[in-house]
């Protein structure tokens, strides 16, 4: 990573329901609280779960209903994107970005993502098919000066996913405690190696985030030991199981926004903060990516 480029990372594992979007939202806020200018990009699907985490989905839905949602995230992958920029100027990119009340900026998901995988599949040249997001970030997002670009990917391996991996070259994988989840992590590493072999693009598994962890159980301790053995120095601080994480999402914010968090929410906050600091170390060197502790804010 060169000194002029923002730190980029994607949240991904080829399985739904792992807490991938929740992990993305909370790490985005933690990184912001530590002094970074963060942009989050939601490619995980038209349902807009990342927008819901930040309480902006109703606004995005209204734009969609009123046909006031063009351009959107799906258009940046199109051949016509440069024409759109020529026509609209700086507003083409500015209109994609929504501010949140918790720090990160957000490029929300859009229904156009539904057909995007098939559209990308019609591009014969793999280098062009998988590098479109990378080109967009290089040309249009880098000049905005973000310290961190965090991309939330679909819970399935497709052409959109490959674009996210190609653009970020770095993956955060949330994983619950279980044999199936452990096998999914192994499959993820194989997929990343295969991508390197086929396309000469090296993508690092930067962090495994143990998620929904109940430290009172023997099972949790067993799998934490397995993860730490299989992925040395890449396992983050375990995020505890907490109903308040779901309650926060249902209310349109993260656990950081609670005025009086529960004990499990407090533990989750400490875990996300520790993981953000660890992520900073993994993604260095980059002078634009700051490492200030949240306690120093």
**For the residues of 238-256, what is the DSSP string, one character each?**
PPBP-HHHHHHHHTTS-GG
279 CB burial (10 A radius; 0-12, 13-18, 19+): buried
Per the listing, tokens 């002094």 go with 35
Residue 289, pLDDT score:
55
Tell me the two tokens of residue 172: 């955060």
Is the pLDDT reported for residue 292 higher than 90? Answer: no
Residue 15, pLDDT score:
75
pTM summary value: 0.92
Is the pLDDT reported for residue 19 higher than 90? Answer: no
Residue 296, pLDDT score:
45
Helix (H, G, I), strand (E, B) or coil at 237: coil
**What's the whole-number mean pLDDT along residues 237-266?**
94
pLDDT tens string 130-188: 999 999 999 999 999 999 999 999 999 999 999 999 999 999 999 999 888 899 999 99
pLDDT tens string 195-236: 999 989 999 999 999 999 998 889 899 999 999 999 999 999
Domains in the chain with CATH codes: 7-35+125-296 (3.40.50.300)
| Spatial contact of 20 and 13, defined as CB atoms under 8 Å apart | yes
């Amino acid at each position: 990573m060169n000194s002029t480029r923002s730190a980029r990372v994607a949240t991904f594992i080829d399985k739904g329901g792992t807490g991938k979007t929740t992990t993305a939202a909370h790490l985005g806020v933690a990184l912001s609280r530590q002094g970074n200018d963060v942009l989050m990009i939601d490619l995980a699907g038209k349902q807009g779960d990342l927008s819901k985490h930040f309480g902006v989905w109703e606004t995005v839905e209204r734009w969609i209903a009123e046909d006031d949602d063009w351009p959107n995230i799906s258009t940046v992958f199109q051949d016509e994107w440069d024409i759109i920029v020529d026509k609209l100027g700086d507003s083409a990119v500015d209109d994609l970005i929504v501010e949140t009340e918790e720090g990160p900026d957000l490029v929300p998901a859009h229904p156009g993502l539904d057909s995007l995988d098939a559209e990308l599949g019609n591009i014969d040249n793999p280098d062009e098919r998988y590098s479109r997001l990378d080109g967009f970030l290089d040309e249009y997002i880098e000049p905005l000066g973000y310290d961190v670009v965090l991309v939330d990917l679909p819970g399935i391996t497709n052409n959109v996913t490959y674009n996210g991996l190609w653009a970020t070259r770095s993956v955060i994988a949330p994983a619950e405690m279980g044999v199936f989840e452990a096998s999914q992590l192994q499959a993820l590493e194989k997929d990343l190696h295969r991508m390197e072999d086929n396309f000469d693009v090296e993508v690092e598994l930067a962090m495994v985030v143990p998620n929904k962890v109940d430290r009172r159980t023997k099972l949790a301790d067993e799998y934490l030991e397995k993860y730490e053995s299989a992925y040395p120095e890449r396992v983050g601080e375990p995020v505890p199981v907490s109903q308040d994480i779901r309650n926060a999402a249902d209310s349109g914010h993260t656990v950081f926004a609670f005025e009086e968090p529960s004990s499990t929410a407090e533990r989750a906050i400490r875990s996300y903060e520790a993981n953000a600091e660890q992520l900073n170390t993994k993604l260095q060197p980059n002078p634009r990516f700051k490492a200030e502790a949240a306690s120093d804010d």
